[in-house]
Amino acid sequence: MAMALEPGVAWALLAAGAATQVGALMLLRRPIRLLRTGGSANGVVVDSEESMETGRGASSLFFFAVVEFTTRQGRSIRFTSDSGRRVARTKGSSVRVLYDPAQPHDAALAIFATLWMAPVVTSAFGMPFLVAGLAALL
């Protein structure tokens, strides 16, 4: 049973849903590239950077791990994680790192939040718009 929406609204919903799915696919490019290039190493948390995030009248402190690892070629690389946590990772703790051997500074922690959270959330946010638009047009 089709929803009773004006065609213009249905097309707008469809366009918004399709755009978010394209965005989710774009966000998948980096983690897939890091996984495909095969650069993987054990890193060590050497420090953490703090960031105060504010929103909706509240502030939260997030900690971003500063990690060092050694590439297969023996180069020592230091980077700051893209994803923060409310509790700092313990200095000296071991973490798995994915990196691009051609650009070893392009590295990420091999955890769900860093690799997959943004594309999953983006896709999930846009899916109802896509489905509503398709249902209204069919």
Cα(98)–Cα(106) distance, integer angstroms: 9
Q: What does pTM read for this prediction? A: 0.80
CB 44 within 8 A of CB 135: no
- Phi then psi for 77, rounded to 5 degrees? -125, 140
Is 136 within 8 Å of 20 (Cβ atoms)? no
CB 81 within 8 A of CB 67: yes
Q: What is the pLDDT of residue 2?
A: 47
Please name the residues in contact with 115: beta carbons below 8 A apart, sequence gap of 6 or more.
31, 34, 98, 108
Q: What is the pLDDT of residues 62-94, one digit of tens each?
A: 999 999 999 999 999 999 999 999 999 999 999
Q: Express each pLDDT in 86-125 by its tens digit.
A: 999 999 999 999 999 999 999 999 999 999 999 999 999 9
**Identity (one letter) of the amino acid at 52?**
M
Q: What is the residue type of 14?
A: L
| Tens digits of residue pLDDT in 42-64 | 999 999 999 988 877 788 899 99
